[in-house]
A and B are shown apart, each in its own frame.
Chain A
Amino acid sequence: MSAPTHHTKAVVAHTHPEAADHEHHGPTVKMYIAIFLALCVLTIVTVVTAKIDFAHVLNNQAMGDLASNVVALGIACTKATLVILFFMHVKYENKLVGLAVVASVIWLSFLLLITTSDYMTRVTDWHLFTK
């Protein structure tokens, strides 16, 4: 029985520094507060930029609408990413969890992109194209 005991000891000795290393790289209170502050600042930025009339600034309605949406959703996606990675610990979990999160984003983009591409390519005078 001495061989397995020796083996177990070796494994423990080998994994211990890794465990301590993992502990060191785990989430800290300082980091939580930094993420919290970043989320607050981004909330204020999104409110301030929403009050800007980009259509007036760019002198183009379509480009202005696009700019407003890109800025608002860009900030929202940044905030969501911070929450997922740090508050929800995905940065510290195994890669399978990260894969599951990415898969959900891809699924959501399929839902949105394929349906909107259908609506955007519909024509009301379709009967002119038949026959």
Chain B
Amino acid sequence: MSSVATSLQHHFADFKQQKETAVLGMWSFLIQEVMFFGGLFLTYVVYRSQYPGAFALASAQLNVNLGGANTIVLICSSLTMAMAVHAASKGNRAGMAGWLLLTIMFGSIFLGVKVFEYKEKWDHGLIPGIQDFGLKFDHEGVPRPTGFALYFALYFAMTGLHAVHMIIGIPLLLNLAINGLRGKYGPHYYTPVEMTGLYWHFVDIVWIFLFPLLYLIGAHVGAH
């Protein structure tokens, strides 16, 4: 029995049907993820509309260039992920593993930059409930406006949940690279690669919205 023959589950008529089922199932999961993140985005919208000035001021504490560079890093990881799926569909095992390792590398760079940014927030006392002197007063002793601390609570909740998704994604990618090199996937069956790709791209889309909503709303505040 070849590995391709065994990878067709008995309850599917053919590979096409099996793949279509997997794609729709994965999208159902991702739509559930939209609901998961949607609650946080809703909280953000409600509180930002209540405290627009405090949110812009708090957002100006973030490093726009670092966040922008990290956005490009994540887009690079999406490209390499798409290339890995493409290589898998052509039956190119080494190419697929290579692109997956590049995706892991870009994902790790993103998380490394995030750790650096969180460390900066710690140093400035911007962590709600843990290290929060900077959430009460600025360095000149002026009290922070209402809603300033709320922004940082949302910043950590949203970027934290996003980072958790990436931390889950990286071992999945590593697993694919190893299985790929062992010859578990071929041009007729690479569904796990494609499904993990959908997950990775989804995490990229979440960041595409987090970046302007968290980093850019205070970008013109610093100009004054």
Q: Mark B32-57, 1 if CB is under 8 A from A, else 0.
A: 00110011011001100110100000
Q: How far is the CA of A72 from the CA of B45 in the complex (A)?
A: 14
Given contacts A32-B83, A52-B220, A96-B24, contact A115 B42 (CB under 8 A): yes
Q: Are B23 and A115 in contact (CB under 8 A)?
A: no
Q: Are A47 and B64 in contact (CB under 8 A)?
A: yes
Q: Are A112 and B42 in contact (CB under 8 A)?
A: yes
Measured CB to CB, the closest approach of chain B to A38, in angstroms, equals 10
Q: Is the interface of B mostly helix, strand, loop or mixed?
A: helix
Provide the residues of chain B in CB contact with A40, threshold 8 Å: 72, 75
Q: Are A88 and B198 in contact (CB under 8 A)?
A: yes
Given contacts A50-B216, A100-B24, A111-B42, contact A83 B49 (CB under 8 A): no
Q: How far is the CA of A20 from the CA of B39 in the complex (A)?
A: 44
Q: Which of A54, A72, A97, A111 is in CB contact (< 8 Å) with B24?
A: A97
Q: How far is the CA of A35 from the CA of B76 in the complex (A)?
A: 11
Q: Is the interface of A mostly helix, strand, loop or mixed?
A: helix
Q: How far is the CA of A65 from the CA of B217 in the complex (A)?
A: 9
Q: Which of B49, B75, B86 is in CB contact (< 8 Å) with A43?
A: B75
Provide the residues of chain B in CB contact with A53, threshold 8 Å: 220, 223-224
Provide the residues of chain A in CB contact with B131, threshold 8 Å: none
Measured CB to CB, the closest approach of chain A to B23, in angstroms, equals 6
Q: Are A76 and B38 in contact (CB under 8 A)?
A: no
Interface on A for B, CB 8 Å cutoff? 27, 29, 32-33, 35-36, 39-40, 43-44, 46-47, 50-54, 65, 68, 72-73, 75-76, 79-80, 83-84, 86-89, 93-94, 96-97, 100-101, 103-104, 107-108, 111-112, 115-116, 119-120
